[in-house]
Chains A and B, each alone.
Chain A
Amino acid sequence: MRLELGKINITDIQFANESKIEKGVLYVNPDDLKPVVLEDEKIKDVVFDIAKPGESVRITPVKDVIEPRVKVEGKGGIFPGWTSKVDTVGSGKTLALKGMAVVTAGKIVGFQEGIIDMTGIGAQYTPFSKTLNLCMVCEPVEGLKQHDYEAAVRKAGFRVAAKVGELARGIEPDETCVYETQGIKEGIEKYPDLPRVGYVSMLQTQGLLHDTYVYGVDAKQIIPTIISPTEVMDGAIVSGNCVSACDKNPTYIHQNNPVVEDLFAQHGKTLNFVCQIITNENVYLADKERSSNMTAKLCRMLDLDGVVVTQEGFGNPDTDLIMNCKKIEAEGVKTVIVTDEYAGRDGKSQSLADADAAADAVVTGGNANEVIVLPKLDKVIGMLDYVNKIAGASEDTLRPDGTLEVEIQVITGATNEMGFGVLSAR
């Protein structure tokens, strides 16, 4: 499959009467976007705001982060199963608005996490302090149940991102990257001497606030399968996961999957990037067994020489990760796994909830229990009242001087387990 990804660099976002993109500036009229959100009657109201890098702004609690894109050539549309039909995406041409993101925020449950600081020490830990953020805080109708509220905000985010993405249609991209994978036989013929490499992407799939969707399907229902990594660039995988802010994978990170990008960078040079294998992280142990068995089998059937395995979330996904690693290695396929750590505030505890000697090549996104003090910032988009309720915080989190003493696990993307960030630990 071959996808041309045109990148339009957005250098500023401004509210204006007319929604458009001009000379790299995104002009947004909130009144154009409001009806897109309110078409779901479960949402009573929405407030839009803009947060820019370097501003004294804190966005919290963050639910999802999404990059606006539009499909201009080829089958299907962005976010298949949501804002488009379920045609197979991943080929043709797609335009992406780079340097910006749509951020959905709001308190779905009382312990909703996720902080994006646009300045100060917290900004170093989140990748979304470097993007211009179009924020939307949704207010639900009275008495809306948690499940319905989550679904409503999740889908509203996709609709807004797709609507903003539409503004890119017809605009000349600043840069175009071409991503292409070959069929199995074609790939072997084209790169006979290169090791065949796959990417095993584990998706969080456990229940409310812990779900991931593939072409609109709840991924806890899937058995592992293969997809073209270009499909994820068109939003084939979206996030419904909003617990464990530091190591959940927002939709943005699926769209800009760093492992996919870095494997493509080596494709045809040092390796042959064959495909992406998606698997899940279910609660039920037999599901874990089945999924890891299938994943290892796929690696074998595809004659892979090596895979990168990435995970999502805290605790039991460590068991899935280790099962995958062990079984894939047992098939003679070499693995590198990407994870993060919960080594305690003092860094002395066992980092993972599971372990095995087969996991001899590990990349870590750092210790999520590290404590930092976030400065008081001038403006909050969302609300702060919940903050001492969340993981990585305590009763003493909100200090009298307005600073926050927290573990970095409260920060969106801080210890990302797809290797999106530079934080690590030894």
Chain B
Amino acid sequence: MAKIKVVHYINQFFAGIGGEEKADTPAELHKGEVIGPGMAFKTGFGDEAEIIATIVCGDSYFNENIESAKAEILGWVKDLAPDLFIAGPAFNAGRYGVACGTIAAAVKEELGIKSMTGMYVENPGADMYKDKTYIIQTKDSAAGMRDAVKKMTAFALKYGKGEKIGASCEDNYMNQGVRVNFFEKERGSSRAVKMLIAKLNDKPYTTEYPMPDFDRVEPNPAVKDMAHATIALVTSGGIVVKGNPDHIESSSASKFGEYSLAGVTDLDENTFETAHGGYDPVYANQDADRVLPVDVLRDLEKEGVIGKLHEKYYATVGNGTAVASAKKYGEEIGKRLVADGVDAVILTST
């Protein structure tokens, strides 16, 4: 059987170029070279697979020039036409993890080439890309390199040969949100009894079916005196000042924006629009009040139903945005609202 051809992607640190100070290193293609962790993969692959090229890119460079860097790298990978694309492992390095996830997902999605990466479960890249490429779960630092390479090598050979990939727990990749059947070693009742004994003794155990995540928030007590309350608007529907000055992404938003409503009584198509890429934007662009109801709140203000509308609003795009990111934006927005003396918030979605 022919060797599986692999292209490997790593950052400036693992390529030995340098740390943070070299993170702006542009993407480089090293044909026929095996660099850094690639050496360990090479040993693991034996004569079943070979790394035909290594792509090195600085983390800052990739994340700040995401579209052009991605296009450039995709171009190289397309020409190299490997059987498999491996990025990382990135461990708990956030920007490296996001870069690995982004490029691995793009290689699979846009070129139809098998791709995989490896990182720590809490790396933000994991949450963003685990359903778009295979992400092998690694430890949180490069001290876990040996373990990571072992797992990634085993997966790469199986995947590269076109063998059937088993359930996530069998093949050490992060669950992709898809339920996959497999045969356990012990019957269900034995597993249940073992799990109960662990639970009774406060020992760790892993549920086989995590319940859908209910991050329920207890509502605050009702606002008693609406007539004197300051009400703010916050949306995940992507309503931004025309031109999207903060460049909030149409999906997987990496930030939120703060915009002024001073003197604004009605949002119209000349001044506001949506940055959201997950719904038909026509109606939101025609009249952004449909998503962020400034006009109605101004009416209520006039009628004396509410004290006043807060003069700033906050917006992000909820389309595919990682829960961890959304939480972070929420916390920051909350702090600013409290500091501004806002009494209540209306959250709108799409």
Contacts and interface: CB of A to CB of B under 8 A. Distances in A.
A84 interface: no
B141 to A, nearest CB: 26
Contacts of B188: 258, 338, 363-365, 416, 418-422, 424
Contact of A421 (B178, B187, B195, B196): B187
B193 A262 contact: yes
Interface in B166-200: 167-170, 175, 177-193, 195-197, 199-200
Contact of B209 (A307, A339, A370): A339
A305 B191 CA distance: 18
A341 to B, nearest CB: 6
B212 A308 contact: no
A271 B193 CA distance: 10
A236 B191 CA distance: 26
B211 interface: yes
A195 B208 CA distance: 23
A425 B167 contact: yes
Which residue, of B184, B187, B205, B208, has the highest number of chain A Cβ atoms within 10 A?
B187
A336 B199 contact: yes
A57 to B, nearest CB: 23
A423 B209 contact: no
Given A351-B179, A423-B184, A425-B179, A334 B200 contact: yes
A420 B187 contact: yes
Contact of A266 (B185, B193, B208, B214): B193
A306 interface: yes
Interface string A399-426: 0000000001000000010111111111
A23 interface: no
B199 A419 contact: no
A365 B178 CA distance: 15
A341 B178 CA distance: 12
A305 B200 contact: yes
Chain A CB count within 10 A is highest, among B179, B188, B199, B208, for: B188
A258 B181 CA distance: 21
A200 to B, nearest CB: 12
B220 interface: no
Nearest to A348: B178
B178 A362 contact: no
A348 B177 contact: yes
Contact of A343 (B179, B199, B214): B179
A335 to B, nearest CB: 8
B199 A347 contact: no
A41 interface: no
B195 A361 contact: yes
Interface string A222-266: 000000000000000000000000000000000000110111011
B196 A258 contact: no
Interface stretch (A75-83, A139-147, A352-360): A352-360
Contacts of B189: 258-259, 261-262, 308, 338, 418-420
Nearest to B188: A419
Interface string A192-211: 00010100000000000000
Contacts of B186: 422
B196 A361 contact: yes
A367 interface: yes
A417 to B, nearest CB: 8
A308 B193 contact: yes
A263 B211 contact: no
8 contacts: A262-B193, A306-B200, A307-B196, A336-B196, A338-B188, A357-B214, A419-B187, A426-B180
